[in-house]
Amino acid sequence: MEATDIRPRLAFSRPTDDTLGVRLSGGWTVGETLPSAAEVAREFESHPQARRITFDTQDLTDWDSTLLTFLIRVKDQCSQSNAVLDEEGLPPGARRLLVLASEVPEREGARKEEVREGFFTRVGKSALETHESAREMLTFVGEATLAFLKFLSGKASFRRSDLMLIIQQCGFQALPIVSLISLLVGMILGFLGAIQLRMFGAEIYVADLVGIGMVRMMSPIMTGIILAGRTGAAFAAQLGTMQVNEEIDALETMGVDPMEFLVMPRMVALILMMPLLCVYADLMGILGGVFVGVGMMNISVTEYAVRTQDALSLIHFWIGIFQAVVFGALVALSGCLRGMHCGRSASAVGDATTSAVVTGIVAIITATAIITFVCNILGV
């Protein structure tokens, strides 16, 4: 006995001069190699007198959405050729689905057409976006400065409990990560110095390298970068979520200035905590250098401490503290800026958080370069 061929097939007939008969047979299901609706179009065009298409589905064994797709394309071709599609020969289920698909026409403009913009158009848009971003940033910095001046004059409206909570989050809760990073950075500086200074028999100067490097430069930079990734991102996420939930709009409706109520406490907390964390990072970094000097170079703790004390001066200390204050303000402004200008979606909150970290780190590195250049000119 021969096996029944269930492959999808397409055949044509001419019942009358103005009618094209389409016979569907086999299984029209996903996974099968299906005939194309273009075959019907070619057959229809080869008979210019044809004005009507009928179907014969008696040998159709099985079908799914692929048949419906085929029928929709044939129906579109009939509409373009001003022909009539006779649906009587189709399965009842296919007829109902075809009617349903035709009931909801495609909305005009629903499909997004990809428009390729020219080079100068893209450059112009980028320039306008950069100008708008710079304007928003300057406006935000000005409003934050006014809010900070109101705080100094005692006229700012904020909750002291919020300020104390933010101080705890920025200060005490950041000690573990600051301790680990500063200790490791101090040890790294000690290792690098030990390798080079040992060639000249000047191992004792590792104390100078670690002490000055940590107090003057590395401690404020590393602490600022840590807080940019930890606290700045948290500020952006908090304010961004409030923007999505329309809480900031509610504050403005009640007559509360969001800059004073939300931004200013965060800025004050970081400006206060950054110098303290920087001093703590100085101690942990010097301790890391002690581990290397005592463990690798057989320098006594007393010798290391005396040499560190001779190498350091108040100039190095105050430069580090000044940088810490500046970095604290930059991290707070970056996080709050991205949070306050966040969009109204969950993905926008994620973008604001990422942008806050990047903006904070770039601002810290830029400020470090400027401060170092100025100190070099002043000879300090």
Q: Report all structural domains of the chain as residue ranges with CATH numbers, in order of start.
A: 9-103 (3.30.750.24), 145-378 (no CATH)
> Quick one: average pLDDT of 13-23?
79
pLDDT band, very low/low/confident/very high, at 2 (cuts 50, 70, 90):
very low
The full DSSP string for 256-314 is --HIIIIIHHHHHHHHHHHHHHHHHHHHHHHHHHHHHHHHHS---HHHHHHHHHHH--H
* DSSP character string of 216-241: IIIHHHHHHHHHIIIIIHHHHHHHHH
Structure tokens at 135: 């304007």
The fraction of the chain above a pLDDT of 70, given in percent, is 94
Report the chain's terminal Cα–Cα distance, integer Å.
Answer: 102
Give yes or no for residue 126 having a pLDDT over 60. Answer: yes
Q: Structure tokens of 307?
A: 């040499």
Output the furthest CA–CA distance in the chain (Å, rounded): 112
Q: Confidence class of residue 380 from pLDDT cuts 50, 70 and 90? A: confident
CA distance 255 to 360: 30
Q: Which of 158, 173, 292 is nearest to 227 (CA)?
A: 173
Q: Of all helices (H) and strands (E), which one includes residue 198?
A: none
Mean pLDDT over 18-46 rounds to 78
Q: Model confidence over 130-182: pLDDT tens digits?
A: 888 889 889 988 988 998 898 888 888 888 888 999 999 888 899 999 999 99
Helix/strand/coil for 367: helix
Looking at residue 353, what is its pLDDT? 93
Q: What is the pLDDT of residues 41-95, one digit of tens each?
A: 777 777 777 778 888 888 778 777 787 788 888 888 777 777 777 777 788 877 7
Q: Distance (Å, rounded) from C-alpha 292 to C-alpha 298?
A: 9
Location of structure tokens 């000879």: 379
Question: Residue 12: is its pLDDT beyond 90?
Answer: no
Q: Report CA torsion sign: 361, 367, 369, 375.
A: negative
Among 272, 171, 278, CA closest to 215: 278
| Residues composing the chain | 380
Q: Is 169 exposed, middle or buried (0-12, 13-18, 19+ CB in 10 A)?
A: middle
User: Which residue in 52, 55, 147, 38 sits closest to 94, CA to CA?
Assistant: 55
Q: How many angstroms separate the CA atoms of 354 and 339, rounded?
A: 11
269 φ, ψ to 5°?
-60, -45
pLDDT tens string 315-336 = 999 999 999 999 999 999 999 9
pTM for the whole structure: 0.68
